[in-house]
Amino acid sequence: MQQSIAVVTGASRGIGQAIAQALVEANYFVVASATSESGVAAIQEYLGEKGTAFVLNLADKDSCAQFTEQVNALGAVSVLVNNAGITKDTLMLRMKDEDWDSVIETNLSGAFRLTKSFLKGMMKQRWGRIVNISSVVGAMGNPGQANYCASKAGIEGFTRSLAYELGSRGITVNAVAPGFIATDMTHELTEDQKQAMMANIPLGRYGEADEIAKAVRFLASDDAAYITGQVLGVNGGLNMG
């Protein structure tokens, strides 16, 4: 039997890499993305024969179209993990249009484009799993992250709406909202910011990329067949809402 295909965006490092590896363990053929050829080579190195990778810039419509064409040529996609995301943090008064636009385009519009391109294949199979990576701040808000929080609140609304639309087709749509995970993205925070964050985490530690990946793998599995339209917080208790 041909292996099912799982797509993971932004898998050159961090949480995306952990998700790609977890889905390989779940026996998927993983198709992953990076923004550069060197990132693609890095992914190919850890995936080996268990998957492949292509360049993708979610903020660029042509790049999204090319990526989806390359993936669709391999077969129908069963699992889509919209993981790739960026931050452009600054207080609102200093936030430039391009800081707003690039974060919304990458984190939200890019997910819309990819999801739309892979839907037909999932609908034909009458089985599919879409997992969107949000953030704890999508619900909580965070000073200096109006653009990022808007993109993540948007992805949660997108998740619920799609869950309504696709439920009858055997496709579940959920989000995972990580708390503070040690990756390049959080590396940029100051020690003071990290300490302040830690004080509010009941489990008293940052999360590991692998802990997000395990939640995604569960939502992508048959065991999660009756779960849709949910936002699963994986945040050490930082937000219990």
Question: Which amino acids are annotated catalytic?
Answer: 148
* Binding residues among 204-233 for ligand NAP as defined by CB under 6 A: none
* Contact (CB, 8 A) for 51 and 214: no
Instruction: Please identify, using beta-carbon distances, which residue of 20 and 224 lies nearer to ligand NAP.
Output: 20
* Binding residues among 48-67 for ligand NAP as defined by CB under 6 A: 56-59
186 contributes a contact to ligand NAP by CB under 6 A: yes
Phi-psi region of 236 (alpha: psi -120 to 50; beta: other; left: phi over 0): left
Residue 175 to residue 232: CA distance in whole angstroms: 6
184 CB-side CA count, 13 A: 12
- The span of 21-29, 83-91, 193-201, 214-222 binding ligand NAP (CB under 6 A) equals 83-91
CA 143 to chain centre: 22
In angstroms, give the least distance from the CB of 43 to ligand NAP. Answer: 9
- Contact letters (x/-) for ligand NAP, 106-145, by CB under 6 A? x--------------------------x-x----------
- The span of 35-43, 44-52, 69-77, 117-125 binding ligand NAP (CB under 6 A) equals 35-43
DSSP string, 44-68: HHHHGGGEEEEE--TT-HHHHHHHH
CB neighbourhood size of 217 (10 A)? 23
* Contact (CB, 8 A) for 42 and 177: no
131 CB-side CA count, 13 A: 31
* Residue selected from 45, 184, 191, 222 as contacting ligand NAP according to rule CB under 6 A: 184
24 contributes a contact to ligand NAP by CB under 6 A: no
12 contributes a contact to ligand NAP by CB under 6 A: yes
Residues lying near ligand NAP in the complex (CB under 6 A) are found at: 9-16, 33-36, 39, 56-59, 83-86, 106, 133, 135, 178, 180-181, 183-186
